[in-house]
Amino acid sequence: MSDTSNDNLIARLFRSSNESENAWSDISTTEPEHDSHQEPESSTEDVEHTAEEDDGHTAADNDRGADITSLKSPDGPDLEHLLNRISSATGDPTIVRREAATTEAPANETPDEEQISGEWYPIEPTTFQEAKLSESEVESLLLKSLMARGALTGRAMAAQVQLPFKMLDDLLRDMKASQYVYYRGTAPMNDYEYELTDLGRERARRLWDHCTYFGSAPVSINEYVASVTAQSLTEQHPTSEDLKRAFQDLLLNQRMFSRLGPAINSGRGLFLYGAPGNGKTSIAERVTLAFGQTIWVPRALGIDGEIIRLYDPINHEEMPLGDHSGLIDKRRIDKRWIRIRRPTIIVGGELTMESLEVANSPATGISEAPLQLKSNCGTLVIDDFGRQRMTTDELLNRWIVPLEKRYDFLNLANGKKVQVPFDQLIVFSTNLEPKDLVDDAFLRRIPYKIDVCDPSEEEYRELFRIIITTQ
């Protein structure tokens, strides 16, 4: 036997909506109808009912019955109209048809997923093998974190090394079994607060003497090479609209656009020369805007036990994704990586040979990535070329192979040499004559040389008009 309590509720709701300003309040104050055989209490309203209403055969009851029948049928023609009447009568805009809402916004598509659609992004690992990490590497980071910050929960340590907590759960149990840590107290969500034992503090101190780094777990060099290949400038093909958007705040003629287009699309070397004040540096600074806006880079690289910091807050601008919806982040993005704006690194007369090599600090044991590694998948601008503290011949000898082969070799602090990508658009900007700076062998590896000529009289007048209107 079907339960008609819901139908009676809707019927009373429509009846009350015509008699009261707040239909929901009227419904909430009525006695619920139970299946018991108790006699209902009489009221003044029931005494005033006519005989026709007691029999239940009035025209109004028939109309309400038709509305209820339409509601019980999901394909009823008046269902949408009925729901709209309920919403307008009760003032509750949340009463919507569930099927229609599902059709308009699929449940498996979130705004955060739309932000990363069409771009490469790192997938969160589930095991140490997938992360290309050993348990001893992660253990050393956890021990140094506890020594530097005192007591930490398991999830706080997972956030410190940017790894999922479920990956560290078994490792933390092993560390407790090895008497490196002990439980100082409990924490929410089936977690504990950990603190170093005397044995753990001694081991952490030895690890600290070798390297003081205890940040994000490093990414392997092979994963980084694969990411550079996936996000390379050579995979981008800017159109004329992209170029106009990138240089929209500059006054460039069509001849300059036609020369910049092939040079930027090649993703290789570019030589800008001309008289001072013609806009060479301004052009070089905006080249990257013609390509994709964001890339992913690792916070740190791990190469044969050496930690190399790659993310640089000074030269890199973070472009975080929006906050995920819900309690659980389903995007599964590897947090050891960071999303940044495609880099544009500009160096001038301060460029030295040391800034092109891995910089190691003996006091901390942490290495810093060179400029060309930080500028991968972006643009590296050598401004005022020929006025650096090092000679042009030194730069020629250092970069003559990377400019042609698109890879570089770096010397690590432990004496090893590693091959890394050299994948950026190198822009040399100078007001000196190029043939007076370098020889033909170097110029041959810079496929595009563009003379930034003096503006014409008409361009001068247009420039003055722009300045006057903006002030």
Q: Domain segments of the chain: what residues?
A: 5-104, 135-217, 223-470
Per-residue pLDDT, averaged over 327-342, amounts to: 85
Give rounded-to-5 percent helix, strand, coil for the chain.
Answer: 45, 15, 40
For residue 62, what are its two tokens? Answer: 């028939």
What is the β-pairing status of strands 417-421 and 407-411? antiparallel
Residue 327's pLDDT band (cuts 50, 70, 90)? low
Q: Which pair of structure tokens corresponds to residue 92? A: 């509750």
* DSSP calls for 349-374: TT--SGGGS-EE-TTT--EE--HHHH
Q: Which of 19-33, 101-115, 221-235, 399-413 has the lowest mean pLDDT?
A: 101-115
Q: Comparing 73 with 463, which gets the higher pLDDT?
A: 463
Give me the pLDDT at residue 96, please.
45
Query: pLDDT grade, residue 84 (50/70/90)?
Result: low
| Mean pLDDT computed over 198-214 | 95
Look up tokens 């007369």; give the residue: 349
* Residue 366 pLDDT exceeds 70: yes
| Beta strands 294-298; 337-341: pairing state | antiparallel
In which element (H, E) is residue 294 found? Answer: strand 294-298
Average pLDDT estimate for 91-105: 41
Confidence of residue 218 (pLDDT cuts 50, 70, 90): very high
**In terms of C-beta density within 10 A (0-12 exposed, 13-18 middle, 19 or more buried), how is residue 447 classed?**
middle
What global pTM score does this model have? 0.72
pLDDT of residue 370: 95
What's the pLDDT tens digit per position in 406-424?
Answer: 999 999 988 899 999 999 9
Classify 412 as helix, strand or coil.
coil
pLDDT at 235: 84
Give the pLDDT confidence score for residue 20 in this predicted structure.
47
Cβ proximity of 425 and 380 under 8 Å: yes
Q: Which fold has domain 135-217?
A: Arc Repressor Mutant, subunit A (1.10.10)
Average pLDDT across the chain, whole number? 80
389-406 tens-digit pLDDT: 888 888 888 888 898 889
CA angle centred on 236, ends 443 and 401, rounded to 5°: 30
Residue 335 has pLDDT above 70, yes or no: yes
Angle ∠(216,340,367) on CA atoms, nearest 5: 45
Closest to 196 in 3D by CA, of 135, 155, 139: 139
Q: Average pLDDT, stretch 249-257?
A: 87
pLDDT for 446 equals 85
Confidence of residue 191 (pLDDT cuts 50, 70, 90): very high
CATH topology (fold) of 223-470: Rossmann fold (3.40.50)
Instruction: Please indicate whether the domains covering 135-217 and 223-470 agree at the CATH topology level.
Output: no
pLDDT class of 344 with cuts at 50, 70, 90: very high
Q: What is the pLDDT of residues 282-303, one digit of tens each?
A: 999 999 999 888 999 999 999 9
For range 247-251, the mean pLDDT:
88
Tell me the pLDDT band of 45, cut-offs 50, 70 and 90: very low
Handedness of CA 46, 52, 57, 63 (dihedral sign): negative
Tell me the average pLDDT across 446-461.
87
Identify the pLDDT of residue 85. Answer: 63
